[in-house]
Structure 1
Amino acid sequence: MICTITLNPSVDIRYEMDRFLPDQVNRVNRVSKTAGGKGLNVARVLRQLGEDVAASGFLGGSLGHFIRSELSRLGIHNGFVSIKGNTRNCIAIIHEGKQTEILESGPLVSKSESDQFLKWFSEFVPLVKVVTLSGSLPKGLAKDYYGKLIETANGIPVLLDTNGELLKSTLAKANKPFLIKPNQDELADLLGGKPEKEEQIINALKAEIFAGIPWVVVTLGADGAIVKHGHACYRARMPRVDVKNPVGSGDSVLAGFAAGFARGLVEEKLVRFGLAMGVLNAMEEKTGYINTGKLTWCMQQMIVENLTMTI
């Protein structure tokens, strides 16, 4: 089993309209509501890959009930801890080729609720092969909370996808994640300067902050990815596709690597498998969805070069 953790989930509401007019009445052409949050995108892709997956975090109120119902419908095991606060909404307004987002900050998690989740995780994690940690922390949790979860995992691979000070503080701990997945901007935040060229990114991965992390996956959008594993470095270039919705592609990549580790994939095959999920997600209109029938094609079309590194 794979466990995906989303500590600050949401109900994602997508409004599609021809024009968005501030300070006026706007009528929506199409609306969709889904169980949202980066880790839930990961969980959906894992289910489509046929993996046994549990999703966990904090849920509260009627929106929390909606998410639980969605998980049940999708066949995802529900490990969420109930809280007194209300789960948040996140709204995306699609208009004139643009996307305007309105994101609620989310509920306040109490000390007792935080401790309850840590207890649940310590009892559940021995049952899983891989853990993913995705997104931001809700109010009430200290910035070392991810570090506590990685320590509690006690050697079970933890794949971490977050950014900013939360990522920095987590990487400063003695217990390291098994994989991190920064994009180019997040890599710049870690290092204090943005490496632009391929050679600069590869050299940046030699920084001390990445020591002890087996896998570092730097996603570059349509330009592919650079993946460091030990002393190996892979440069991957994606096939050109008709992009319908790139949102959630990073989460899909995390799902791909999680499934790959659970299945025992290694080296170049793992890289191709993991990164293919991001391409497949971008080809679909829905977020966190893939067409598994195109997986073999995508892996074959991907160009992966194995570069040598001196760390």
Structure 2
Amino acid sequence: MIVTVTMNPSIDISYPLETLKIDTVNRVPLVSKTAGGKGLNVTRVIHELEGEVLATGLLGGHHGAFIAEQLDNEGIQHQFSKIAGETRNSIAILHDNGKQTEILEAGPTVSAQELADFEGQLNELLKKASLVTLSGSLAKGIPVDYYRHLLTLAKKYGVKTLLDTSGASLKASLESADKPFLIKPNTEEIAELIGQELVIDDVENVKAILSSAIFEGVEWIVVSLGSKGAIVKHDATFYRVEIPKIEVVNPVGSGDSTIAGLAFALDANLSDEEILQYGMVTGMLNAMETKTGHINVANLAALKDQIKVSPM
């Protein structure tokens, strides 16, 4: 079973507008409200792939109850730890031919006792898990290096971790003695970590940077390149992944969907090529849909076959 962890979930609200008018009233004809946060996007896509998945993390208040009800309606297993604070909203205004303006609430403050209660629950879930994903931001009150603690906890049970975070949280996790099994940084995050730009067309540069000491012990490094695919290091092997052009409808959640595809394929013990194809195709399929963290599985096979994975 794959366990997904979302420490700062949200209700993702989408407002599509032809034009965003400032300092006046904007009337929205259609509103979408989805159980969101990066980890829940991962959960939903794994569920759509018919993988065995359970969502955990922190939920609170009326918004938390809404998210739990949505997951129940979709038939998704979940076991969240309750907190006193209200789970946040994340608002995306889609306007003016492809522009996107986001309004992200900070979310609730989590107490030390609430965090301890969650950890007690996670200990029990890890006994049954084959893989765990750690995704997204941390709610207020949670230490910036908290994912490092969860990496150690997962290692205690022999569970591999896929980590999708950034900034100080990612750096702290990579400095841990217990490394994530897989990370998915973009080129900007690589540059922030290393202090050096990744030149994607320079093979020797790529190999040198992804072999930096900070990545030692990380089995999979999947560097997202957006429409250009990905560069990947698995142990000592490097891959270039090329993807076909698609019509992008809504790119939000595509990175989460990529993590979902990678987790699903890794859990199924597929080949390197298929693992990377699944990661890329689920990200692309999400971008082709209006709903965030959703794929049309009917289009998977044909698109997956167009993804080229080559050793570097």
Indicate the TM-score class for this superposition, using the shorter chain for normalisation: over 0.9
Map Cα deviations across residues 110-157 of structure 1 (whole Å, 9 max, x no partner).
Answer: 000000111111111010111000001111111221111111112211
The answer to whether the 8 A contact 1:62-1:86 is kept is yes
Partner of residue 180, structure 1: 183
Q: How does 1:73-92 map to 2 (within 5 A)?
A: 73-92=73-92
Report deviation, 1:71.
Answer: 0.8
SS of the residue corresponding to residue 31 of structure 2 reads strand
Q: Distance in 1 between matches of 2:145 and 2:307?
A: 37
Q: Secondary structure at the match of 1:251?
A: helix
User: Counterpart amino acid of 2:209?
Assistant: A
Q: Select which of 150, 162, 166 maps to 1:163.
A: 166
Q: Is the 8 A contact 2:3 2:125 kept in 1?
A: no
Give the letter aligned to residue 140 of structure 1. Answer: G
Deviations 1:248-274 (A, max 9, x none): 111011001111111111221211122
Question: Which letter maps to 1:164?
Answer: G
1:53: which partner in 2? Answer: 53
Pairs within 5 Å for 1:138-153: 138-153=139-154
Q: Report the equivalent of 2:21.
A: 21
Report the AA paired with residue 290 of structure 2.
Answer: E
CA apart distance, 1:292? 1.3
User: Residues of 1 paired with 2:144 and 2:16: CA distance?
Assistant: 35
- 1:62 corresponds to which residue? 62
1:25 & 1:299 partners in 2: Cα distance? Answer: 44
- Structure 1 distance, partners of 2:30, 2:208, is 46
Is contact 1:202–1:226 with CA below 8 Å preserved after alignment? no
User: Which consecutive unaligned segments of at least 5 residues does structure 1 have?
Assistant: none
1:37-52 map, 5 Å: 37-52=37-52
Q: Give the equivalent residue in structure 2 for 1:231.
A: 236
Q: Who is 2:258 aligned against?
A: 253
8 Å contact from structure 1 (residues 183, 220) kept in 2 = yes
8 Å CA contact 2:12, 2:34 repeated in 1: yes
**TM-score under structure 2 length normalisation:** 0.96
Once the two structures are superposed, the pairs formed by residues 124-139 of structure 1 within 5 Å of their partners are 124-139=125-140
Match of 1:303 in 2: 308
The separation in 2 between residues aligned to 1:249 and 1:184, in whole angstroms, is 16
Q: Retained in 1: the 8 A contact 2:145–2:168?
A: no
By how many angstroms is 1:244 displaced? 1.1
Identity of aligned residues (%): 49
The runs of at least 4 aligned residues of structure 1 exceeding 6 Å deviation read none
Paired residue total: 307
Which residue identity is paired with 1:292?
A: V
Match of 1:121 in 2: 122
| Consecutive unaligned residues in structure 2, runs of 5 or more | none
Instruction: Provide TM-score, normalisation by structure 1.
Output: 0.96
Shift of 1:282: 1.2
CA distance in structure 1 between the aligned counterparts of 2:170 and 2:143, rounded to whole angstroms: 13
Residue 102 (structure 1) aligned with residue 107 (structure 2): no
